[in-house]
Structure 1
């Protein structure tokens, strides 16, 4: 059996408020002992992912960045900003009545990003270093949001709702990248964990999907994979739920380990 694990970060592997992954450490260590690759799948940028990748000691595993709009591998110098610049230019063509309700990271700058995310200023600057996508806060009505997204579709731009931000890009999803990485690794079994709507496709496509409880978000409705038995939900939120359920799945897959307590 060849297993690859894919995980969202904020509200999933990382605590929603503190960004701490400490409670997940036992299961993380267990994956490492068994040589199971852990692929981070996030709306975060390559600049944000790189130091976390080192901190988690993920070796040569790639990472899905900017909500699936790109891939990052250890040692990558980073992508150019052409796609991001085109996206920002498309936003500026929208009617002011729509544009005013979307405040993207490019509108905020590092100081305001730090305020809305709770990140330290240095980390907020990394979040602002975007190449392919634009997260932002939507403050208008649901109807105006639908009109906003329709208008962007004419520019080839898609929108994905995460636990906190509406993220815009020219396409590519976490699920698309998961399939690409799984093929490259010859994976026979995929495990995916997430907490927000932008994780849905990844969760549905995995052999084992885990919806991590996040009391700070709207949550996910029942998914088809739950009815089929492929997707389960954690009882505990964030990294504590991540840890408990990952260990549960590893037990089921016969990766015996009596040290995960």
Structure 2
């Protein structure tokens, strides 16, 4: 494939999508200019392939791969979401082996019926069904202390499972990160200049690994600490939240690259 002028790797919830209503309309101007210039936008999210496939099509990005379930998997260009459950059952079994006090403090997607999942995520029921189709990871809410969380992370690590903080949920998986997937996918395009956008702790590695990173404001959680490369200007903070902040960041990149 031809080498594009740059690649864009974008988180979804709270970044390209509004944190509350999941709208992306404010990002439409920059998205249109990127499509016209042949700049691939690779979605990178904790969402499932079942969620990302229709959204990727809606955004006109189906010709490009997408990073799903926080980097635990990749949805290939043009592919539909697989029907098999992947390794999700193994994650649920690992949770069942935790000490009762730790297990009780973590409520995962698999613990909720669709009505509760819709309430917890703010998704309509039909979209909550897609969020439940997990293959690689188990997001959930943590209700315990910081000390208990550290014990949970250690107990899961002993079973080969990682835990990562997102914009809203603590997500468990057998590994793979947005940053590692970004490097793999960039190589497919000839390793051009990379731009990453995100708003949460699970985006930090991706932001720090990219040639240029943008931290989109997230009013729903404490700001991210200063990141590696931020003092040198390689990572930039955008005051606006969600798709409005995304559009501002990308308009800046578009202008800098003369597109």
- For the superposition of Structure 1 and Structure 2, which TM-score range results when normalised by the shorter chain? over 0.9
TM-score (norm 2): 0.96
1:104 alignment counterpart: 108
1:109–1:128 CA contact under 8 A, matched in 2? no
1:78-137 superposed Cα distances (whole Å, 9 cap, x missing partner): 163241111110100011110000000000122111001110001001000000100000
2:186 alignment counterpart: 182
Q: Answer yes or no: is 1:239 the counterpart of 2:237.
A: no
Change (3 A) 1:242 1:19: same
* Structure 1 position 218, deviation (Å): 2.0
1:259 alignment counterpart: none
TM-score (norm 1): 0.95
Structure 2: gaps of 5 or more residues: none
1:66 alignment counterpart: 69
1:197 alignment counterpart: 201
2:84 alignment counterpart: 80
Determine the C-alpha separation between the residues in 2 that align with 1:80 and 1:169: 17
1:5–1:192 CA contact under 8 A, matched in 2? yes
Change (3 A) 1:25 1:86: same
Determine the C-alpha separation between the residues in 2 that align with 1:3 and 1:79: 33
Q: Answer yes or no: is 1:137 the counterpart of 2:141.
A: yes
Q: How does 1:16-165 map to 2 (within 5 A)?
A: 16-73=19-76, 74-78=78-82, 80-165=84-169
Tell me how many residue pairs correspond in the alignment.
Answer: 255
Determine the C-alpha separation between the residues in 2 that align with 1:210 and 1:239: 12
CA RMSD of aligned residues (A): 1.1
2:117–2:128 CA contact under 8 A, matched in 1? yes
What secondary structure does 2:53 align onto? helix
Change (3 A) 1:46 1:151: same
Structure 1 stretch 189-198 or stretch 219-228: which is displaced more? 219-228
What secondary structure does 1:234 align onto? strand
Change (3 A) 1:35 1:150: same
Q: Answer yes or no: is 1:12 the counterpart of 2:15.
A: yes
Q: Answer yes or no: is 1:215 the counterpart of 2:219.
A: yes
What secondary structure does 2:230 align onto? helix
Change (3 A) 1:238 1:51: same
1:2–1:186 CA contact under 8 A, matched in 2? no
